[in-house]
A = this chain, B = another copy of it.
């Protein structure tokens, strides 16, 4: 059942891509250094972090009170994880020294029993493990574990790995079915997938079993109510009494029975990633089926066209099937990152282009929309329609919508999450399944693959996302037989492939969305892929009410939007007729140069509208209007203004 389709480690992948190169460079040169400043409270005007200082206090190296969220430690952990990925690709002794120093502090902050969490150590040592529902204790542990594994794999240094092993050993003592153990799990999933990484790094099955325990137990008992009862129903957040919304935490049912994504979106996709990991590691078919069901619900009924998920600010949560408002949307950057984690893990189990399509959709749209092109301003929420006059606290339904990217957040989950994803992008490109190498994303660079004892170097040159040409070149010492599976994206109506200049017939080669070319490859063999880059007028499922009568433009993987900077205001009156001519253009001032789309649209104008709020038989005039569509991810880079993805037809 469960196939072994392993992703090629980012260690073997050297990205060299005209589009993604700017992001990987940005993360290295700006984002990671900037975030270090931010978590050390050295960025003027940014919200206070205190994350590093908390560790110093817990380590006895400084005096003071804990400050920040109960999960403030994760900002340090995610930063360290990103540092690990950077060091995997390029030595940086200075950065490594800073990280080592941070790890020394973390070591001192660890308690003798292995416990590690500055909130509880400084502020509430007697409250450890008493409010898993709200306190993010295992979530925070999970992020530290992920950091440790990345840092160990990059540097070979074991200090942080040893720290988290001690912590994980302690957790394995605290949780379980024994008489003095807690039969519980965390309110925020994350440790599940982290423990699988720790298992891989150490080979210690205890960590795999602990992860499986959390997955298996979730939603099977009333742990949150029971721990609440024990501590007197206190709450970290609520005035009188904790309110436990089981769906918010995905504990309303055992995970194997959760057919619909509900509650906090990030938790769902982190949970799903852990589920897929355990399904793979333990050959658990029921868990694989449950993962597939949950995945299909998310991407088939609850995903924005931008790859965003979570349509409600309340609980940063999923709503119900097909309820995808564009303006009150949540679509947290972290949730789309988690969706990518899940997609990559599903690809490991069943290489189907559908998963890679979603990964690509989230990556090119919501994920990179989350960061300004200076690497210093970030979106947490990624709306598909913005009218700034509603934001700024005037209408509370839009309080969470920022019309421009802020510098840093007190609750800073998204920026470091972006940093760790973009710095480990190489992990998402290629996988190997038996004798076949899969290419999932069109991101250029060189990749080393070991296949049945043969060393293969694959060089990809991609003109995506602006042009549909991708070139692969094979370097081998001697001819090797293997399959090269090239993804044909869902957005491409047709594709052609040329091997050494000669077009090949694809129909017989297609398997689950990949063109699988089996042959004996010789050094210098070239595969050229040509994709359909026509502009697509996208419609959405008729049950998505917010998009009824509306159209969105997509070209290649890029979803487009209209912005006030190009089109003026009152975008609610803009229409894109069915027969409107759509022309490609290029804006070399926006985001380092992007392909835009010019269209002959219409705008309904009311030049002679009186002051009346409502009028009988008033006619608005439709006037021609040149429209400029820009890539969604580049919105809000030219000041504050209206923006809209779905336009009236």
Contacts and interface: CB of A to CB of B under 8 A. Distances in A.
A617 B537 contact: yes
A395 B312 contact: yes
A396 B536 contact: no
B613 A540 contact: yes
A493 to B, nearest CB: 7
B572 A613 contact: no
Interface stretch (A297-305, A370-378, A512-520): A297-305
Interface string A320-336: 10010100100000000
A68 interface: no
A323 B389 contact: yes
Interface string A393-430: 01111010000000000000000000000000000000
A214 B615 CA distance: 38
A433 B389 CA distance: 43
Contacts of A493: 616
A317 B543 CA distance: 30
Contact of A325 (B312, B315, B397, B554): B397
Interface in A601-618: 604-606, 609, 611-618
Interface in A476-523: 491, 493
A542 B611 contact: no
B542 A570 contact: yes
A7 interface: no
A30 interface: no
Nearest to A571: B545
A397 B314 contact: yes
A196 to B, nearest CB: 30
A152 interface: no
B604 A548 contact: yes
Nearest to A303: B613
Interface in A68-85: none
A549 interface: yes
A134 to B, nearest CB: 13
B549 A648 contact: yes
B395 A539 contact: no
A540 to B, nearest CB: 5
A237 B572 CA distance: 38
B536 A604 contact: no
Given A328-B328, A395-B323, A491-B616, A542 B315 contact: no
Contacts of A615: 538-540
Contacts of A540: 613-615
A320 B389 contact: yes
A620 interface: yes
Contact of A394 (B239, B313, B319, B395): B319
B554 A616 contact: yes
B325 A538 contact: no
B617 A311 contact: no
Contacts of A243: none
A336 to B, nearest CB: 15
Given A323-B390, A538-B616, A573-B542, A611 B300 contact: yes
Contacts of A612: 300, 541
A536 B609 contact: no
A395 B616 contact: no
Nearest to A235: B239
A491 B573 CA distance: 26
A387 interface: yes
A609 B389 contact: no
B396 A541 contact: no
A608 to B, nearest CB: 11
A325 B538 CA distance: 25
Nearest to A611: B300
A411 to B, nearest CB: 18
A398 B554 CA distance: 31
B545 A572 contact: yes
A83 to B, nearest CB: 36
Interface string A579-613: 00000000000000000000000001110010111
B395 A320 contact: yes
B545 A613 contact: no
Given A314-B396, A395-B312, A604-B549, A537 B616 contact: yes
Contacts of A541: 606, 609, 612-614
A545 B301 CA distance: 26
Nearest to A324: B613
A618 B396 contact: no
Nearest to A613: B541
A540 B323 CA distance: 26
A616 B300 CA distance: 15
A325 B398 CA distance: 12
A239 to B, nearest CB: 4
A606 B620 CA distance: 29
Nearest to A606: B542
Contacts of A395: 311-312, 319-320, 323
16 contacts: A237-B239, A239-B239, A300-B613, A312-B395, A320-B394, A387-B545, A397-B397, A493-B616, A536-B616, A537-B616, A537-B617, A539-B615, A539-B616, A541-B612, A542-B620, A548-B604
List 3 A-B pairs, minimum CB-CB distance, nearest first: A314-B396, A239-B239, A536-B616
